[in-house]
Structure 1
Amino acid sequence: MSTKSNVNISKKTFISAIIILMALLMLSGILTQIVPTGSYIRTEVKGEQIIVPDSFSFTSGQRLPILKWFTAPIEVLFSGEGVIIITIIFFLLIIGGAIHILNEASILKSIIDSVVIKFKNRKYLLLAVIVFIFMSLGAFIGIFEEIIPLIPLMIALSLELKWDKLTGLGMSLLATGFGFSAAVSNPFTIGVAQEIAGIQMFSGAPYRIIIFIVTYFILTTFLIRHAKKIEGTINMGETIAIETGKTLGQDQPNSTSCQAVLTNEKGVKWFLACTLLMVILILLSPVVPIISQLNLPIIGLVFLVSGIGGGILSGFSLKRTLNLFLKGARSMTPGIVLILLATGVKHVIQTGGIMDTLLFYSSEWVSSSTSLQALLLVYLIVFIMNFFIGSGSAKAFIIIPIIAPLMEMMGITKQMAILAFQFGDGFSNILYPTNAVLLIALGLADLSYVKWLKWVFKIQLIMGVISIAFLWIGLIIGY
């Protein structure tokens, strides 16, 4: 017997995420009542606001009203980041709508069944290849939000291979996040940070390639061990987050599954062509400025076309295709609330006037430390800042102008300062509940944040120790 389910933000995950984010929103509000307000002078460089070092001063003024804590999730839409937040929301709705069409047309099911048949005796090789691809997207190109459309596909593939949803998230979300951590030429973290620090863009790559390779093998080993542990023990009643057209208890696709590839060949080819176009656009984004600036809406548009075109080529009428799209988009609306709450936490800290104060206190702490301690403190500062500011390039414009000259004064190379910044930014990308991409991914997988945190804690701890070792080695070799 076949089963059908749709991509949606599950009620359980939604409620637990709401509770966590509301608690964080209140905590941020309390901080604005305790921490003194202050600010750095900022100057505009290439359209971005960069902090002027040694320009901090405490300010006096009214504390952020308590009412603003609760209105922050709405006010953030009218802030400087309102456009990107609205873009992410529309991106989420498009994904929900397009995937629902692809599910109903059995396009994703056909592709997954074909992959399972081809790799049924080499599935751990398939896992290793997928992890490498997703890690490379984060490490070399700086892709993160754009992988959201692929997450349900990876979850479905994982379950078809007798693994679980966590393995599917590990192959995609976790791998991309770790790619950010072990970035080699990520233009949004490495590129921006090196340009601000005044050193050659993408210099020092050989050492970062070594870090990437080590991180890849550790993550792949972790995922394979987990997959082997749970293989064959999945609850047979568990259904996957997108349509598979069969129960998980079957060892391989049945004749109906195999036939789906043949009967919907047009829809499958259309989706694969659109996916190839998305990959090409992603690869071009670092070298084509207009694509880089509009990457998210462009990817969303291509995915929209892939969904609607796939539905029509599968024999659906335009009316039915659009109705399916609207139904899928509606199922994703709880994600909008999560995104607004997550960005509202940052908005409270910024409008409360304490972000620069926290950064000033941190820089004073760093300047009175030894070389290794200073690097570890930079790592920790960025790690904490990522809780409030998810964008790697935004953090670079805020913190690099301060820590780069500070490190140089302490006899530490700017390259090492950027490495510490990179580690702090990357490893927390898939850890904090204020990260909208993580919340969306967990909602698609119908997994609670607590369960995710328990699962990634061990690998995060291991990579934390490994990254500290790389900082220590970097100091020794004069990186």
Structure 2
Amino acid sequence: MSKQKIIVKKQKKGQDYGAAKTFISAAVILFLMLMLTGLLTYFIPGGEFDPETMIFTKSQTRGIPIVTWIGAPILVLFSDSGALVIAIIIFLLIIGGAIHVLKETGLIEGVILAIVKRFANNENLLLAMLIFVFMTLGAFVGVFEEVVPLVPLILILARRMGWDDVTGLGVSVLATGLGFAAAVTNPFTIGVAQQLAGLVIFSGALLRFFVFISVYGVLFFFLKGHIKRNRTERIDAKIQDTSHVPASAYKFFVSLMLLMVVVVGLTPFISFLRDITLPIIGLIFLIAGIGVGKIVNGSGKWVTKQFFQGAKEMSPAIILILLATGIKHVLIEGQILGTILYGISNQLQNKSPLFALFMTFLAVMGLNFFIGSGSAKAFILMPILMPLMDLLGIGRQLGILAFQFGDGFSNILYPTNAVLLIALGLSRISYVKWLKFILPLQVVLFVLAMFWLAIAYRFGYGL
């Protein structure tokens, strides 16, 4: 066996070990959280809370059987949200398979090599551009889950630039998540919340634009400092030869990626697209993987083999998603969500306006641990928060700003967020390592959010 093959084999073993370690640590954390949620159903009385009349009706039972806790990751597939979970799983399998085919053809390496050569002597510009593009997708279009297919590409680009995998996630998933939090016209948080609150859609955008700029600056300097402290060897010289990839394969791939951008861009403006965006993206990547594979290799058998290998490598992320959604299932089955919301509404009444505003931000951030969807939280919380904002004289626009911050900034922190779990699996970074990286930034973002809420309150934002 040649020396090069031995090195590749050792690298593969190291990657497999890292992936297994990442999966086990995340699975253990989620399982413990699942058990803790089950225990809470015995200590927190269940019930239903009607926010319109502020009436809380207690349940006659308390606690759910332990078999429901343990079986929740499977039982969730047969619940009301089961169809969505299954759709996400199928989407991930398709994306995993398609990306693997594209990588094995050498096309992705070729695209990355071109970018590396273009920005070899100006990595700060590349860093600024990547952060801006991904943050813009989150802030203006409401993209978050849809960036998953791009994560492997950005990770390869980061390695070629001499950046570590954490930086790769930083300029992609992290940037998108923070853009989602510092939203200007995000239709899934701002749009839905303002519609439920009876406000003009996307009104008050000027202040949110300045919030976006401030978060962008914080993230850029945070990642720039991280790169300086954790630079790795730039390995563009070790990229495999991609001269065998025909130009037609690149044209085919780029055309489909442009189509995907158009679909994502139209989603906020065409209502029926919102429910089928992920399936469409999955279909586009499936066509890209099969098409490029056939153009480069020509063998349907080879394409099929590579596709199923990629889908197989995505399976650990699916287990983590089932564990995370299982936590929400136990929360709903135990009927303790209504109790929690009732407690929050009681705590917010008769408080000073600014304190109530800060408490709203914290309450939404806490609830985001269990319910990741911004739109779902808007439907649950707006009927509670908006009357309270009116009562306290804060104004509904400012209440939505607090909701926006609470919903978004913790998306890239909690291990119950499916997008974060998938990204960590793709990068082979453990959740513990990610937590160490993200906590200092979270502290800065927490202070920044409080600052903007106080400024907005001081100048009567939305009144």
Same fold (TM over 0.5): yes
Cα offset, 1:372, TM superposition: 1.1
Distance 1:15 1:340 in 2: 14
Match of 1:342 among 324, 330, 333: 324
Q: What aligned pairs does 1:327-366 form with structure 2 within 5 A after superposition? A: 327-366=309-348
Q: Give the partner amino acid of 1:35.
A: I
Distance 1:292 1:106 in 2: 33
Structure 1 residues 62 and 475: alpha-carbon distance in aligned structure 2, compared to 1, 3 A threshold: closer
Match of 2:298 among 316, 330, 345: 316
Distance 2:250 2:94 in 1: 19
Match of 2:358 among 362, 373, 376: 376
Q: What aligned pairs does 1:28-427 form with structure 2 within 5 A after superposition? A: 28-41=37-50, 51-231=51-231, 234=232, 250=235, 252-253=236-237, 257=240, 260=242, 263-427=245-409
Given the alignment of the two structures, is residue 21 of structure 1 paired with residue 30 of structure 2, yes or no?
yes
Contact 2:42 2:62 in 1 (8 A): no
Contact 1:194 1:202 in 2 (8 A): yes
Distance 1:261 1:458 in 2: 43
Contact 1:111 1:261 in 2 (8 A): no
Cα offset, 1:62, TM superposition: 4.9
Distance 2:12 2:359 in 1: 46
Unaligned runs of 5+ in 1: 42-50, 235-247
Structure 1 residues 261 and 52: alpha-carbon distance in aligned structure 2, compared to 1, 3 A threshold: farther
Cα offset, 1:79, TM superposition: 1.1
Contact 1:266 1:314 in 2 (8 A): no
Q: Give the partner amino acid of 2:338.
A: D
Cα RMSD over matched residues? 1.7
Q: Give the partner amino acid of 2:385.
A: I
- Offset from partner CA, 1:374-417 (integer Å, 9 cap, x none): 01111111101110000000000001110111111111100010
Q: Give the partner amino acid of 2:201.
A: M
Q: Give the partner amino acid of 2:197.
A: A
Cα offset, 1:365, TM superposition: 0.4
Q: Give the partner amino acid of 1:151.
A: V
Distance 1:331 1:174 in 2: 23
- Offset from partner CA, 1:425-450 (integer Å, 9 cap, x none): 00010100111111110011001000
Q: Give the partner amino acid of 1:38.
A: G
Q: Which moved more, 1:264-273 or 1:453-462?
A: 264-273
Distance 2:299 2:245 in 1: 17
- Offset from partner CA, 1:224-280 (integer Å, 9 cap, x none): 11112222xx3xxxxxxxxxxxxx554x446x75x6257432222222111111111
Q: Give the partner amino acid of 1:121.
A: N
Equivalent pairs, count: 452
TM-score by length of 1: 0.91
Contact 2:46 2:334 in 1 (8 A): yes
Q: What aligned pairs does 1:427-438 form with structure 2 within 5 A after superposition? A: 427-438=409-420
- Offset from partner CA, 1:124-178 (integer Å, 9 cap, x none): 1011011001001111111111100101111111110011001000000100110
Distance 1:271 1:5 in 2: 27
Task: Report the counterpart of residue 452 of structure 1 in structure 2.
Answer: 434
Match of 2:423 among 441, 449, 453: 441
Cα offset, 1:101, TM superposition: 0.5
Contact 2:62 2:334 in 1 (8 A): no
Distance 2:43 2:298 in 1: 59
Contact 1:193 1:396 in 2 (8 A): yes
Structure 1 residues 318 and 5: alpha-carbon distance in aligned structure 2, compared to 1, 3 A threshold: farther
Secondary structure in 2 aligned to 1:387? coil
Identity of aligned residues (%): 48
